[in-house]
């Protein structure tokens, strides 16, 4: 493949992922600033914030269902077609949120409609990540798989930067204007990004790995059945490994917006800017870490980042407790920008290297989305609830971050580093999985 076509693959993978996460993080941030006042109206502001975060968490539980549906399409029909559907769903839902009337206008229907659109968002993102990752990884040469697999991971932070920039600009408006119409602009603007993303993906061909499976006639009738029957251990490993990548991320990037403004007296702009700076640092480091994993292995970088998360949990909160904007920025850059980057950079590639091509879309999606549902969307909710129960103390939240890291270290303990193996031969080279692979082959021919 020539360099021009490869750049197109990179852009298609990165742009779609960026747009999806721009939409997704927009909701997470606005939930803390706007939805608790305009859609989830209660007498106690803390309860309104918890309800807003609950709606944020809700989509994480629908993501595995979206993952099952779209990974089935991805493993049976192809990666490309799936990515077009998921991007369209996400864009329609986000655009609709920007047009919704508030609780003051239509009463209880406002939060109902908002939650409905949030669930549609969750369905879309449930299938998007796996397709974007495989688009990059399954085209990658063996010696650059870590770098290529890190490209779609950059979409997470790029999307967050776009969302944060958009909201930072809007928060410069007078309070009344921001609460009335300013917060809506980024949601409506997302429609233009979706059209651009669909145009980019139009000219992309199917991945070599999927073509090989299709030519061999071994496409499973029900990928999820084969995955859960023959690869359930790998799914559990992926779920556990996802925990430390997702829970601290939402605490550093989403929960801190509400906590730092409400409890510590920081301005919204200062907190959003600190998150934006940290995500820019992460975006720069992710491809560097991905490339480094091609040399030293995925597992070493992942374990190093996870241990760093354990060590930094308490210092992070101590630094932001000092109520200094400089220390807030430094703490966020260290946690979200530096320590988190090697974990997320290698996660997707590491997942793809433990699943057979026939069920790879389904396997990585189940692990990623179930892990995100259990630890990601719930993280701001858990953190806010702990703060409420323990009178604003950050100690339980820091312990929660450490707990998530320990879970992931236990999950990744037995994983074999396969960064030097060819992607389409991995399942055949796994002596422990030979018997199960043989059974899967027999079933596929019945």
- Residues contacting 42, CB < 8 A, separation 6+: 48, 51
Tell me the C-alpha distance between 203 and 12, whole Å.
9
| Terminal Cα-to-Cα distance of the chain (whole angstroms) | 36
Topology (CATH level 3) of domain 220-427: Growth Hormone; Chain: A; (1.20.1250)
Is the entire prediction scored with pTM above 0.95? no
What angle, rounded to 10 degrees, do the helices at 79-97 and 45-76 form?
160
Query: Cα–chain-centroid distance for residue 425?
Result: 28
Alpha helices in 202-231 (DSSP H): 208-216, 223-230
Stretch(es) of the chain classified as CATH 1.20.1250.20: 1-217, 220-427
424-432 contacts at long range (C-beta below 8 A, 24 or more positions apart): 424/209, 424/212, 424/357, 426/353, 426/354, 426/356, 427/355, 427/356, 427/357
Tell me the C-alpha distance between 376 and 316, whole Å.
19
Tell me the C-alpha distance between 308 and 401, whole Å.
11
Q: Tell which residue, 96, 48, 36, 268, has the closest CA to residue 173.
A: 268
Residue owning tokens 């030097």: 420
Residue owning tokens 């944020």: 56
What angle, rounded to 10 degrees, do the helices at 109-137 and 79-97 form?
150
pLDDT by residue, tens only, the chain of 446 residues: 667 777 888 888 888 778 877 877 788 778 877 888 888 777 667 777 788 878 777 777 788 888 889 988 988 888 888 888 888 888 888 899 999 998 888 888 888 898 889 888 888 888 888 888 888 888 888 888 999 999 999 987 788 778 878 887 888 888 888 888 998 999 998 888 888 888 888 777 777 788 888 887 778 888 899 898 988 899 999 999 999 999 999 899 888 888 898 888 898 889 988 988 998 999 999 999 999 999 999 999 999 999 999 999 999 999 999 999 999 999 999 999 999 999 999 999 999 888 888 889 899 999 988 888 888 768 888 898 898 888 888 999 999 999 999 999 999 987 777 666 777 665 544 434 433 444 444 444 33
Q: Tell which residue, 224, 238, 259, has the closest CA to residue 380.
A: 259
Tell me the C-alpha distance between 126 and 131, whole Å.
10
**Residue positions counted in the chain:** 446
Tell me the C-alpha distance between 197 and 432, whole Å.
41
Q: C-alpha angle 303/9/348, rounded to 5°?
A: 20
Which whole-number Å values give the CA distances from 273 to 163, 178, 190, 265, 328, in the listed order? Answer: 11, 17, 21, 15, 10
CATH number of 1-217: 1.20.1250.20
Q: 202-228 burial by CB neighbour count: b if 16+ within 10 A, else e?
A: eebeebebbeebeeeebbbeebbebbe
Task: Please tell me what DSSP assigns to residue 417.
Answer: P
- Determine the 3-state secondary structure of 204 from DSSP: coil
The pair of three-digit structure tokens given for residue 419, joined into one six-digit string: 């960064």
């Amino acid at each position: 493949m020539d360099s021009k076509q490869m750049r197109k693959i990179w852009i298609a993978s990165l742009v779609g992922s960026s747009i999806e996460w721009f939409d997704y993080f927009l909701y997470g941030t606005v939930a803390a600033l706007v939805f608790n006042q305009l859609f989830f109206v209660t007498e106690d502001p803390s309860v309104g914030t918890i309800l807003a975060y609950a709606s944020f968490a809700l989509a994480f539980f629908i993501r595995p269902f979206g993952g099952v549906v779209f990974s089935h399409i991805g493993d049976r029909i192809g990666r490309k077609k799936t990515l077009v559907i998921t991007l369209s769903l996400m864009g329609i839902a986000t655009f609709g949120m920007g047009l919704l009337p508030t609780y003051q206008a239509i009463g209880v229907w406002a939060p109902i409609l908002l939650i409905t659109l949030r669930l549609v968002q969750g369905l879309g993102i449930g299938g998007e990540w796996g397709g974007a990752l495989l688009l990059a990884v399954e085209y990658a040469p063996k010696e650059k798989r870590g770098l290529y697999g890190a490209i779609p991971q950059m979409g997470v932070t790029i999307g967050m930067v776009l969302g944060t920039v958009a909201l930072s600009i809007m928060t410069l408006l007078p309070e009344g204007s921001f609460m009335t119409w300013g917060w809506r602009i980024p949601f409506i603007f997302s429609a233009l990004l979706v059209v651009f993303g669909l145009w980019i993906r139009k000219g992309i061909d199917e991945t070599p790995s999927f073509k090989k499976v299709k030519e061999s006639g071994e496409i499973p009738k029900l990928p999820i059945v084969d995955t859960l029957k023959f690869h359930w251990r790998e799914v559990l490993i992926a779920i556990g490994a996802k925990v430390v990548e997702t829970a601290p991320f939402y605490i550093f990037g989403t929960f801190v917006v509400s906590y730092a403004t409400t409890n510590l007296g920081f301005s919204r702009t200062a907190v959003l800017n600190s998150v934006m700076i940290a995500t820019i640092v992460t975006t720069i480091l992710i491809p560097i870490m991905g490339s480094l994993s091609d040399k030293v292995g995925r597992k070493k970088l992942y374990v190093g980042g996870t241990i760093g998360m354990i060590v930094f949990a308490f210092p992070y909160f101590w630094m932001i407790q000092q109520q200094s904007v400089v220390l807030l920025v430094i703490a966020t850059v260290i946690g979200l920008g530096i320590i988190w980057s090697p974990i997320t950079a290698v996660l997707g590639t590491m997942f793809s290297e433990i699943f057979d091509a026939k069920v790879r879309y389904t396997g990585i999606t189940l692990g990623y989305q179930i892990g995100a549902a259990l630890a990601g969307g719930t993280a701001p909710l858990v953190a806010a609830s702990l703060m409420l129960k323990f009178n604003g103390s950050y100690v339980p939240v820091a312990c929660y971050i450490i707990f998530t890291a320990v879970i992931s270290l236990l999950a990744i303990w037995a994983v074999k580093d396969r960064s030097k193996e060819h992607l389409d031969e991995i399942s055949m080279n796994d002596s422990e999985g030979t018997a199960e692979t043989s059974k899967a082959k027999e079933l596929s021919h019945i």
